[in-house]
Structure 1
Amino acid sequence: MNSIIIKMMIALLPTAPVVGEYMADYEPAKTENAKQEQNKNELTETIEDIQAKVTTDYPKLFNVDEFNVQVGDSFDPIEGVYAVDKRDGDVTDNITTSGDVDTSTIGDYYLKYKVTNNTGGWYEITRIVHVSENPTDKIKPTPKTFGRDSDKNKTRVTFTSIDDVEISVGSDFDPKKGVKIYDTDGHDITNDAIVQGDKVDTEKVGEYFIAYTVIDRFGKANAAARKVTVK
C-alpha cells in the first residue's frame, strides 16, 4: 500500500503551536458510482462550499495524490493543486513546492508541498510522482474557478518580473533581481518578501521552482511561484 508523509502545524494562540507528523495511507479503490459522485461534486463545489467543511486550524491541500507522468510529457507540479483554510478561504497562492521531477527519465520522484494560513498554521505533504511509459494521469478539476475570484483579486498584492526564466550553466542568478512586489495600496514591499522553494544551483542543469511570499497590509499572506531552468 502506498503511503505519503504529512506534516502540519496548528497555530493555537496564545498557546504554543502544535506540530504533528503521521503516515497517511491512500484510500481503498472507490466503486464506479462513488467515483462518478465524487467527480460530480468536484465540478459543482465552490471554494466556499469546501471552506465550510474544513474544521482544522491549519489549511488543507487538495489534488496532491500520487500522480503518473508519461516519459517525455511536461509536468507542472502546481497544476490542479489548491488549498483551502476555514478562515482564509482560498489560500492556493500560499502554496510552495520543492523537489524535482525529470520527465525525461523513468523513475519515482518526491515533491514537497507546503501551505500556510494567516495565523501561522501550516500543512505539508510529500507527493509521489511516477515517470513511466504509461499515459499521463488526468488533472483533477479545481473549484477555484467557480468561486469568487474577482472578489479575492481585490486584496492581492502585485508581483512583477517573476516570469519563468532560462539561464545558462555557470550564470549568476539572484532570485530578487528585477522583481517588484506592490501592496494592495501600491506601496513597494519587495524587501519584505521571503524566497522559498528550491535552491537554484546554476552549476547543475535542471528545473527549479521558487516562490515569493509576502504579507500584505491586511495581514494576509500572498505568494507567487516561478520556474528557473538552468540549461
Structure 2
Amino acid sequence: MFKQKFLQIAFSAAIIAIGATAQVNSAAMVNPASRVVVGYWHNWCDGGGYQGGNAPCVTLDEIDPMYNVVNVAFMKVFNTSAGRIPTFQLDLSIGLSEQQFIDQISKLNGEGRSVLIALGGADAHIELRAGDEQPFADEIIRLTDRYGFDGLDIDLEQAAITAADNQTVIPAALRIVKDHYRAQGKNFLITMAPEFPYLTTGGRYVPYIEHLEGYYDWINPQFYNQGGDGIWVEGVGWIAQNNDALKEEFIYYISDALVNGTRGFHKIPHDKLVFGIPSNNDAAATGFVQDPQKLYNAFGRLNSQGQGLRGVMTWSINWDMGTDASGNLYNEQFIKDYGPFIHSHSPAPPPPVEGKPIFKGVQNARTLQGRLFDTLAGVSARDSEDGDLTGTIRVDGYVDTHTIGTYALTYHATDSDNNTTSVVRSVEVYSLKPELFGVASTIILLNTPFDAMSDITASDAEDGDLTAAVQVSGFVNSAIAGVYTLTYSVTDSAGQTVTAERKVTVSDGSSCASPWKSNVTYVQGDAVSHSGIQWVAGGPGVRSLEPPENGGCGVR
C-alpha cells in the first residue's frame, strides 16, 4: 500500500493529545449486512503520488456514501520513547477538532456505514512482545469507546509483519477485544489488508488468519505494488499482477485460488474475500485496473460458480478525490465505477429483527433514461411500537436519470428507541437500444446498380428516426460476381450502438445458390435456387418455397 512512502507528515503541534477531553461515543457498532466498498481515509494532508499527483485532506462527511466501510489510517507507534503499544492521534491539519471527528464517525454510523481504525501502514514501527496482549487490547477498547470505531483493520507491512511477537500478540489482543464487545451484544469487526504474496501457503500473513479463525470478518488483500508477483495457472501460464493485458484473468484466477485454497494459496472463504485495488495510477506503483469491465467480468465468473466475493477495497478515498500531476481532478472515478456495481449485486436484505423498523418497497429498480425517479415512491417503513415511520425515512445516494448506469441508494429508518434499519437498493438507469430495419441478405444480377442504403431505416424509442445516423462499412462491386458483407451500425443519444451484417450476392445467373429441397426448413435470409431463379426466405420457419413461373436468376 502506498501509505506514507512519499509523504511529508508533520504531526508536532498539529497532533491532538489523546488525553484531551471529548465526548465518548457509545453507540452500537455498525456492521455492513451486504457487500462492501472499503476505502482508506488519510489522517494527514497532501500525499504525493507515484505519478506526481496530490491526495488532499478531506473530512469524513465529504466521503461518497457508496463507501460503506471507511478505514482510518493509521493506528501506530508515533514515539518509541513513549512505549511500544500503538495508539491513534488525530492530525489537526485536516481541519477537524477531536469532537468533530467523533461526531462525523457517528454521522457515518447513522447512515449504516462502518468506520474502522487501521493498524500499521508502510512506515509503522510496531514490535509487540509476549505480555502485551492485554495492554494492547485495552488501548484498542479505549480508542473504540472514545471515537466510536466499529472495528480494526490489520495493515502491517514489511518488517512489522513478523517483528518480535506480532504474529501471536496482535491476534490474541484482538480476540480479547472481540470477546469484550460480544459480551455487550456488539460485533467488533476484524479485517486485514495483506499484500497478496504473503497469502501463499505458509506465508507471513497466514498466522494472523489462523489465530483469528472464527474472529475475523473479512480479508481485503492488496493486489497492487507487487509488480511481477502473480499466479501460475495450468494451461494459461504465469499471470503477473502488473500484466494489464491479462487483468481479468489475474483477478479471476487469484480469487479462485484463494477462495478454494489452490495453486499454492491459503484458503479464504469467498464471502470473506474483498478485492483490493488502487484508486488510480497515483495511488500505487502498479495494480490500477484500466478497464473496470475486466473486474466486472471476473466477478461475474466467480458469481456463476457460486463464489461471489464480498466486495472491493481501495487505497484510497483521498486519492479518489485527488488530482494528477497536471492538477486535473480524478473526479472520484473509482467509486463511480465500482460503488454501483458492488452494491447492485448485494445479497437480499437480512430478515427483519424484532423491535427494529421494517422496510417495504426497497427492491432493486430500473428506470428509463430521462424519466423522473422518485426515491420514495412505493417505499414505506413501520415499527411494531411506533407504527408508520415512512415520514422519517432518510435516503443517501443519488440517481442521475440523465446518465445510463447503476446507482446505489441507502435507506435508513430510526424508531423512538433509537433502533436503526438500513437497506441498500440499486437503481439502473437504462435506455432502449435503437433498431435497424431492412438489413436483409439479398442477391443482385451482375452489373445491376446497388444502393446499400435503399430501404434501410433506423429508429429509437427515445430519439425517434435515426435513419440519417446509420453508418455502413464494406462494399459491393456489382461488376464482379461474389458474396459481399456489409455492416450497418447506428448509435443513439445514450451512446448505445446496434450493428447488423448483411450478405449481398452478385450473381451471373448461372448458379445462384444451393438447389431447393422440399423437405428442408429454411430460416430468414437463407437462399436457394430453383429452375434458374434465386429465392430468399423472408421469415423464420419457412419449410418450402413455391416453384417460379419465369426463368432467369431473379430474387423472390
Per the normalisation by structure 2, the TM-score is 0.23
- Quick check: which one's helix share is greater? 2
- Quick check: which one's strand share is greater? 1
Per the normalisation by structure 1, the TM-score is 0.49
